Structure 1
Amino acid sequence: MNAPILSVKGLKTHFRLSAGLLKKSAKVVHAVDGVSFDLMRGETLSIVGESGCGKSTVGRSILRLVQPTEGEVILDGRRVDNLSQAAFRPLRKQLQVVFQDPFSSLNPRMKVRDIIAEPIRNFGILASEREIAARTRELLAKVGLPSDAGDRFPHQFSGGQRQRIGIARALAAEPEIIICDEAVSALDVSVKAQIVNLLVDLQSELGLALLFISHDLAIVEHMTHRVAVMYLGSIVETATRRQLFATPKHPYTQALLSAVPVPNPDEKRERTILKGEVPSPISPPSGCRFHTRCPLAFDRCSVERPQLSDVGEGQMVACHLYIDTKVSATAGAVA
């Protein structure tokens, strides 16, 4: 089998809050708390979950925009989480990002041609200005923008056009991986579909690996190969697209899918309504992080944290319900 282009092992990213005058110690936000996954070449892996579950922090930790607390990030066979910023800088060429807000992520003082040309100059991909200008026009055409768009500033474009500029800037570095951090969540529905189709076409043409961070399961179902579901800083289920949308295993995944709007008004769907609030990442609950809201929780869930276990055909679930079932089935076979 081919080796993964990106491998994340036991990633933890904690943020220490400053202690007040009367507090003995500072509190810690467990934003990401033990995340592991592999991303294969040419694959789209989607990380989904509620707002605040830590999925964007995973992407930022991989990019070293925030420094991971523990764990390993291995890029194309080389560990990069423990490198200095100077040593990591040349490797950023392989790993680019498209941010959620296309306006705030583009320099308003720079023309579009300079925004796209900046990575080409920074990484020394092309030497002459003539070659850089030609490459900039080529990238604009690749993302569906006219060549004269390079003479304008970001504020002169719509939201969807600005996101195309952000994608062109990411492509300028000739990366192997692009992290899309809620890249379509700020766009209108019709524009959102155009950008998703553009990413799919670019992946097919260039062989890119995409780490697609989103809370929109309808978009995820359209473009992904595999899905990782996060809850309160940890992954609770990983599966292929077909497995996840046809046979979700974890109670949290089932609740998420039940909330996806159905385009047919005559079709009825049974909703799973989760009770209570999402616990604070400052003091996450013991045992399974989801047990305080899970309708199927039992005693073991509150004291023992379940590990991701294979429940068949590579579908991984962190839930005591399936661990118990697996143990019982094994014991029956031995008897």
Structure 2
Amino acid sequence: MIFRQLFDTASSTYTYLLGDSASGEALLIDPVFEHERRDLALLNELGLSLVATLDTHVHADHVTGAWLLKQHAGSQILLAEASGASGADRMLRHGERVSFGKRWLEVRATPGHTSGCLSYVLDDQSMAFTGDALLIRGCGRTDFQQGSPAMLYRSVHEQLLSLPAHCLLYPGHDYRGLTVTSVAEERRYNPRLGGDVNEGDFSGYMNHLGLPHPKLMDLAVPANLRCGQPADGTARGADAESDWAPLTLAFSGIWEIQAGVLAERLADGTAPQQIQLVDVREPQEFSDALGHIPGAKLLPLNQLTQRLDELDRERPVVAVCRSGARSAQATVLLRKAGLARVANLAGGMLRWRAEQLPVEDGQE
């Protein structure tokens, strides 16, 4: 099985990717709206097809990426029937299964943080995804969205701490940089729910937290009751920043253009914005065996930031090097300098030559 733990720094939210390597089918648990491009890039690089997104509950601190991912990946939206949300493709109940290839997750109702909280347990009970019901040495608050300390206490003890001691628990959030815990650890060390703490102790603790409401609650909850669909019902395009050419976003965060696509754009005399080719290799490389792309401007990487005035900030820029590594860094520097339409030539001159595209000063 393929497993990745992803993080949103703004809300300290974890998103989990689970993939079946044999079938290529994958699930995302608790995706975040702003990271749709990142998640799609990772799925693409791992060769996975997104079957469904699963939210653990209606979040109050961020907007889910479920609806946006459905628009761009065709994935189904899965959410608790008790959540009260609209727009989901499948409303989940306790005891159901969600399959991805030959693997599956068991749905467990764990209300208390909200009335519609779900946790997801992997088929072999080696992993569980607890949302906000159980955090690492903590738990979600219980003072809004029909929360209940008594209900949460029972949910955690009956559905989560009853799992095998070795089962790894992955929370919906962590605010200290912790990533994973286990049933055994939380049974013993969780200060709110472990050890000899009973329901009365827990309720007394939770009823006196005195926390302010999440800053984004008034925005996030209504949006998440629509499964993340914007109020105007429109989706930002996955390629909104690449209106000048078909680009792909690598999981590294670098926008890339493929060699064949670039060649077509350069040959298209009707293209609305002429592309600037910036070759960031050293001068001796510019005319070596690989040659360079016709029309490319030599701006070595170590001179790039000092020679920005040689570029037209209104026109797109494609950075080029031997393999695509130095030019990837060039795109980072160019974007930091305020150039918005910037892409890296994927695979650099090596791929350009491999596809037998035109060069100057190169050798056969």
What TM-score does the superposition give when structure 1 sets the normalisation length? 0.31
What TM-score does the superposition give when structure 2 sets the normalisation length? 0.30
| Structure with more relative contact order (C-alpha pairs < 8 Å, separation 6 or more) | 1
Structure with bigger helix share is 1
* Structure of larger gyration radius: 2
